[in-house]
Amino acid sequence: MDLSQYIKNISTAASTILEGMAVTFSHLFREPITVQYPEKLDKPMTEMLPPRYRGFLEVQMDICTGCKRCERSCPIECIAIDLVKDPATKKQAMSRFDIDMGKCMYCGLCVEACKVESTGAIRHTREFEGATATLDHLTFRFIPEGLVPLYKAPKDLSEVPVGEYGPHAREARERGMRDNPAMLEELREIWRKQNQTGKKKKGGKKQAKVTIDAGKAEKIKGNVVASPKGDVEKFARLLETLTAQTDCGACGYPTCYDYTKAMAGGADYDPSKCEPGGAEATADLGYAMDVYWKGPEAADAAAKGGGDAAAAAPAPAPAAAN
Ligand code: SF4
Ligand code: SF4
Ligand code: SF4
């Protein structure tokens, strides 16, 4: 190496070092960009996150139809929804809506299913703070007590009163931190029982077997027998009263009436499609269809023979009575 090249190398090294040091030195006079979290923030951290941030899930219960699309679309079974008949209103209502945020992988599949096909009741929020000593605290219960009625969605889903994102997740998190894990012991007992009865079997229809109540069967029978054969609309309206009547669309039809009209017209023989109605609606619809298409004696025999009304779906209709 000649002398000029040697001097050039030294000069390049010196200027590079000076350049680097200049950047370092300039930081001595800049405002720090790190913040003391959480004490010294100008505004809550959640407000600084992007709007589409995938934080904790929340459910706005007053616009939830109980259609269970979210529960079905979750690949790892984080969501648990239970529906029962409300003794006061005699209508289906939700008794449980739990999300295990400790297990959730934030994939958003449940949110998409609800947003595209239902009301957008379940959604990600920008809430994220869930530091806890045990994951049990992160089971968010959106129905802390009592029953929540099912929301009947407008047909075009245009006027669903979607509220602010965040408060439901915050409330559920606070309850979780306060009430779990003692509450979870109770839940686990419920899950154990459900698994024993086959209600939560992986895959397939998640319906328990229900035997139709004798008094109710008599009432349904009387109404069906009084319904003139061939009057599809009348029979469809009667069947509609046996569904959950939320027009949630989980059965694959836009409204309850569309579903029951297909059944009454002989185009659909499956009484097990009403998701919010659950096993009870399946049993009631199956029994009513049996009375209509097979006759009261055969319907009673089928009802006594087994409780699984889905299995006891009516035989193919004699003719589509449109
Ligand atoms: S309305 Fe949405 S949140 Fe409610 S059960 Fe259906 S999919 Fe789930
Ligand atoms: S975000 Fe994904 S993993 Fe979490 S509850 Fe929804 S579907 Fe399940
Ligand atoms: S019949 Fe269909 S639309 Fe009506 S509540 Fe049941 S699943 Fe929803």
- Among the residue ranges 159-168, 233-242, 245-254, 302-311, the one predicted with the least confidence is 302-311
7 located within any domain: no
Does this model's pTM top 0.85? My answer is no
The pLDDT tens digits of the residues spanning 182-204 come to: 777 777 787 787 777 655 444 44
| Domain identity same for 298 and 183 | no
Looking from the CA of residue 153, the nearest atom of ligand 1 is 1
Nearest CA to ligand 3 atom 8: 248
Q: In this model, does residue 310 exceed pLDDT 80?
A: no
d(CA 122, CA 113): 9
Residue-number span of the structural domain to which 63 is assigned:
57-197
Q: CATH code at 151? A: 3.30.70
| Domain identity same for 232 and 184 | no
d(CA 53, CA 49): 7
For residue 100, which ligand has an atom nearest its CA?
Answer: 2
The pLDDT tens digits of the residues spanning 104-151 come to: 999 999 999 999 999 999 999 999 998 888 888 999 999 999 999 999
Nearest CA to ligand 1 atom 1: 64
∠ CA 84-109-117, rounded to 5°: 65
| Domain identity same for 167 and 236 | no
pLDDT reported for residue 188: 76
| Domain identity same for 68 and 98 | yes
Please tell me whether the peptide bond between 296 and the residue prior to it is cis, using omega within 30 degrees of 0.
Answer: no
How far apart are the CA of 99 and the centre of ligand 2, in A? Answer: 9
Q: In this model, does residue 322 exceed pLDDT 70?
A: no
237 located within any domain: yes
- Mutate which of 274, 282, 284, 285 for ligand 3? The one with the most ligand atoms within 8 Å of its CB, which is 274
d(CA 287, CA 292): 9
> E strands within the chain?
57-59, 79-85, 92-100, 122-124, 139-141, 148-149
| Domain identity same for 176 and 296 | no
- Helix, strand, or coil (residue 209): coil
Per the listing, tokens 């200027």 go with 15
Nearest CA to ligand 1 atom 4: 64
Looking from the CA of residue 113, the nearest atom of ligand 1 is 7
d(CA 288, CA 299): 8
pLDDT reported for residue 205: 46
Q: What is the DSSP string of 216-230?
A: HHHHHHHHHHHSPTT
Nearest CA to ligand 3 atom 2: 251
Average pLDDT for the chain: 86
| Domain identity same for 182 and 220 | no
Domain count, the chain: 2
How far apart are the CA of 106 and the centre of ligand 1, in A? Answer: 16
| Domain identity same for 300 and 176 | no
> What's the rounded mean pLDDT across residues 242-261?
92
| Domain identity same for 190 and 218 | no
264 located within any domain: yes
234 located within any domain: yes
- Give which of 278, 311, 78, 65 is closest to 191, Cα–Cα: 78
Question: Which residue among 166, 197, 228 closes a domain?
Answer: 197
